[in-house]
Structure 1
Amino acid sequence: MKKLLVFLAVLLGSLSLVGSSVFAAENLVEDNAGLFTAEQQDQLNTKAAEISETIKGQILIVTNDDNTEDPRDFADNYLRDKVGNDQNGAVLLLDMNQRQIYLSTSGNMIDYLTDRRIDEILDDVETYMGSAAYFEAADAYLSKTAAFVEDGVPGGHYRVDEETGKITRYKTITALEAVIAAAAALVASLAFFLITKSRYQLKSGVYKYPYQENADLQLTKKENRLVHSFVTTRRIPRNNNSGGGFGGSGGSTTHSSGGGTFGGGGRGF
């Protein structure tokens, strides 16, 4: 019995160490510029981890004070290294060397954070960064992102490629629409059943339908041939001053980088 208790104690201790290692490895805030205290970094990391669990991806923050790369390229590459191409995630870059903010999105975060929503986030972040309130800037990014994820993808959402102008639309179904559709389907099915039953209800053993005499089957051959197909695109001018560039309440401007598709926007402070 004593040996069993010792074994269980060792096992629990090992699991605790593993759990601590996993938690420590889940570092979603990389503060290379030293903008946050240790306590602030823990708070931001915890908040980012909660959103990451919801989106099944990673919500990240990275700061630096020596970057000379284009902020968008840096943010896209950083996000790709963390989650992979076209996987769920977003990263807020606070570039202290170039005094630039950039928010890069990938996967489902392109749809959650539309151009207009990114502009709203950047408005808050820019205000705080301008007054050197760095923790408040990062916290505002996380709070706004969490709220937008909670709100869901806007109705009538679409993506537009900044290079080709190609628009891809997404149909989202709200909870209310799903309930109404299910109720309508149930009522229609029940009505069809009752009407059919009332019209064709037969008494067993009294009548048999002469299906062999009344059956009639005719087969015809029909061919459809595609002659021409057309794809229409339009070029959307790129806006380098803010947000995603295309605007609109439900649109997300996207661009290609390193084999992946990214959304996002940025500005100076």
Structure 2
Amino acid sequence: MMKKFFLFFLLLVSVGWPVATHADTATVNDEAGLFTTDQIQSLEQQAEKLNEKIKGRVLIVTTTSNSEEPRDFADNYLRDAVGNDQNGSVLLLDMGQREIYISTSGNMIDYLTDSRIDSILDDVYDQMTNAAYYNAAKAYLSKSATYVEDGVPGGHYRVDEETGKITRYKVLTTVEIIIAVVLALILSLVFYFVTVSRYQLKSGIYKYPFREKSSIKLTEKTDRLTNSFVTTRRIPKSPPPGSGGGGSTTHSSGGGTFGGGGRSF
């Protein structure tokens, strides 16, 4: 009896015990002590606006004790915060290894293409070399917000760094959607009126002249396969046309897909 009561008690405790979730990860994790309390609050407010737009989370983490590769650290940190292949990005300021790294996941892989990440890193690098750490974090958030507002660039694609596989994405702009709807409506109306005018009966009872209009012809045809030949040749793989600028290089880590890029300072 006591054993059953004890097991029931453990069950109640386990159900009521608070469980850590992805949302428990702080937006700004300033282990290195680069920001003031007011600066952290300002960065969190700026990040919250971006979170609503991407339906995910943008994060900032600083460290002096990381012993992993910055890319691995950033990917793992982002995965722990949002989950595999969920929307988000993180800026890592690794003060021990003097490295800046941005990791992206979900739709942020598409918003922050390789060229856009390079542009963000340019701004962050300039501030980091001047020890303007708060401005560096602000640059990451503000420029990310600008690119999200601009949307996924036309002709965007992802390329897997290991396999070279290219996945293209077709993105319809608002103007393209409106034009498509208008054209579809016009074509539907034209088809409707043409059909009505063609089959509309003016008066009387219509009889179709089936004797004059009908015919029948019976033929017999037999095909016999006697032999077949298959010719194969290797087609060399070439980069896709227009692959110079709108792509995101991705890699796999811990069961998830990530984009990103980094720079030493």
Secondary structure class of the residue paired with 1:44 = helix
Whole-Å separation in 2 of the counterparts to 1:25 and 1:150: 27
Secondary structure class of the residue paired with 2:101 = strand
Provide the residue aligned with 1:248 in structure 2: 244
Provide the residue aligned with 2:177 in structure 1: 178
Mapping of residues 1-269 of structure 1, within 5 Å: 27-203=26-202, 206-207=205-206, 248-269=244-265
Whole-Å separation in 2 of the counterparts to 1:47 and 1:209: 74
What are the ranges of 5 or more consecutive residues in structure 1 without an aligned counterpart?
A: 1-23, 217-226, 236-246
Using the TM superposition, give the Cα deviation of residue 204 of structure 1 relative to its aligned residue in structure 2, in angstroms: 7.1
Residues 48 and 60 of structure 1 are in contact (CA less than 8 Å); yes or no, is this contact kept in structure 2? Answer: yes
Provide the residue aligned with 1:244 in structure 2: none
Residues 50 and 145 of structure 2 are in contact (CA less than 8 Å); yes or no, is this contact kept in structure 1? Answer: yes
Residues 88 and 109 of structure 1 are in contact (CA less than 8 Å); yes or no, is this contact kept in structure 2? Answer: yes
Using the TM superposition, give the Cα deviation of residue 234 of structure 1 relative to its aligned residue in structure 2, in angstroms: 7.0
Whole-Å separation in 2 of the counterparts to 1:209 and 1:30: 82
Whole-Å separation in 2 of the counterparts to 1:231 and 1:93: 42
* Offset from partner CA, 1:33-89 (integer Å, 9 cap, x none): 110100000010111111111111110000011112100000000000011111111
Whole-Å separation in 1 of the counterparts to 2:51 and 2:209: 65
Using the TM superposition, give the Cα deviation of residue 118 of structure 1 relative to its aligned residue in structure 2, in angstroms: 0.1
Identity %: 66
Using the TM superposition, give the Cα deviation of residue 199 of structure 1 relative to its aligned residue in structure 2, in angstroms: 1.4
What are the ranges of 5 or more consecutive residues in structure 2 without an aligned counterpart?
A: 1-22, 217-229
* Offset from partner CA, 1:9-45 (integer Å, 9 cap, x none): xxxxxxxxxxxxxxx9573111111101000000101
How many corresponding residue pairs?
A: 227
Whole-Å separation in 1 of the counterparts to 2:259 and 2:55: 18
Task: Pick closer, same or farther for the CA change 1:32–1:234 going to 2, 3 Å.
Answer: farther
Larger radius of gyration: 2
Whole-Å separation in 1 of the counterparts to 2:29 and 2:91: 10
Task: Pick closer, same or farther for the CA change 1:233–1:41 going to 2, 3 Å.
Answer: farther
What's the TM-score, normalizing by structure 1?
A: 0.77
Whole-Å separation in 2 of the counterparts to 1:177 and 1:98: 46
Whole-Å separation in 1 of the counterparts to 2:147 and 2:28: 20
Q: Which range is displaced more, 35-44 or 198-207? A: 198-207
What's the TM-score, normalizing by structure 2?
A: 0.78
